[in-house]
Amino acid sequence: MEKVGFIFDLDGVIVDTAKYHYLAWRKLANELGFEFTKEQNELFKGVSRKRCLEILLDIGNVKATQEQFDTWMVEKNVDYLAYIEKMDSSEILPDVTRVLEYLKKKNIPIALGSASKNARPILEKVDLLPYFDSIVDGNSVTKAKPDPEVFLIAANNLGIAANSCVVFEDAVAGIQAANAANMVSIGIGDADILNEADYNFNDFTEMTDDFLKSLLNKEHKA
């Protein structure tokens, strides 16, 4: 049997950091004189920090000089880091650790494939760093999801063929990136939104060990 690799997105898959990203973006929006809603924050899932700021400024109809843009990028991240400062393993989403343990016991290589530049410190805070054989994050890529780059680098680092990798993602752009990489895509969240995924689950509590086992034995993508 050919070896299989598993790639996890971070935000929204392993931890629910969307709420902290939201608070930091909302603070910036309010300072710039406009509202930023939770619904609008949905657009930011899986999207790079730079692109998020571009969208935010569009929402507020704010024109920025390059210097202001750079300052606001830093400001948002400083606020975000303050919000995540106290994160600990209690913020790991339900059954993520069970799935990681299952894969580890079977010696399956595991990578992180995240758009975040803060991925490593977050994994450290929640004590999950030791599970990962490779971490590919916003510091390692030149092209954002839905480009497959982040997942292709992860597969390469694991030494596994792309079409033998399985990706867990909560963002539409992430599912599209996994599909573009010819990997098995598993949507974590609303199946209506993540309707391009090969499989859908609301969260990891719905994912049985038997299902995980089936992924280890399955025929991979052509």
Please indicate whether residue 198 is annotated as part of the active site.
no
What angle do helix axes 172-180 and 149-158 make, rounded to 10 degrees? 60
Query: Which residue from 8, 20, 36, 44 is in contact with ligand BG6, where contact means CB under 6 A?
Result: 44
Residue 203 tokens read as 């969260």
Residues in contact with Mg ion, shown as a per-residue x/- string from 146 to 185 under the rule CB under 5 A: ------------------------xx--------------
Q: Report 39-78 residues binding Mg ion (CB under 5 A).
A: 46
Residue nearest to Mg ion (CB): 12
**If binding is defined by CB under 5 A, does position 11 make contact with Mg ion?**
yes
Query: CA 200 to CA 220: how far, in whole Å?
Result: 18
Q: How far apart are CB 17 and ligand BG6 at their closest, in Å?
A: 7
| Contact between 68 and 177 (Cβ < 8 Å) | no
| Contact between 196 and 185 (Cβ < 8 Å) | yes
Looking at residue 114, its amino acid is S
**If binding is defined by CB under 6 A, does position 169 make contact with ligand BG6?**
no
Conformation bin of residue 110: beta by default, left when phi > 0, alpha when psi is -120 to 50 = beta
The residue (of 54 and 133) whose beta carbon lies closer to ligand BG6 is 54
Residue 18 tokens read as 């969307």
Q: How many CB atoms lie within 10 A of CB 67?
A: 8
Residues in contact with ligand BG6, shown as a per-residue x/- string from 77 to 116 under the rule CB under 6 A: x------------------------------------xxx
Residue 165 interacts with which of Mg ion, ligand BG6, none, CB < 5 to 8 Å by class: none
Q: How far apart are CB 73 and ligand BG6 at their closest, in Å?
A: 9
Q: Is 100 helix (H, G, I), strand (E, B) or coil?
A: helix
Phi/psi for 168 (5° steps) reads -100, 125
The residue (of 4 and 9) whose beta carbon lies closer to ligand BG6 is 9
The residue (of 4 and 197) whose beta carbon lies closer to ligand BG6 is 197
Please indicate whether residue 147 is annotated as part of the active site.
no
Residue positions forming the annotated binding site: 9-11, 25, 76, 114-118, 145, 169-170
Residues lying near Mg ion in the complex (CB under 5 A) are found at 9, 11-12, 46, 170-171
Residue positions forming the annotated binding site for Mg(2+): 9, 11, 169-170
Active-site positions read 9, 11
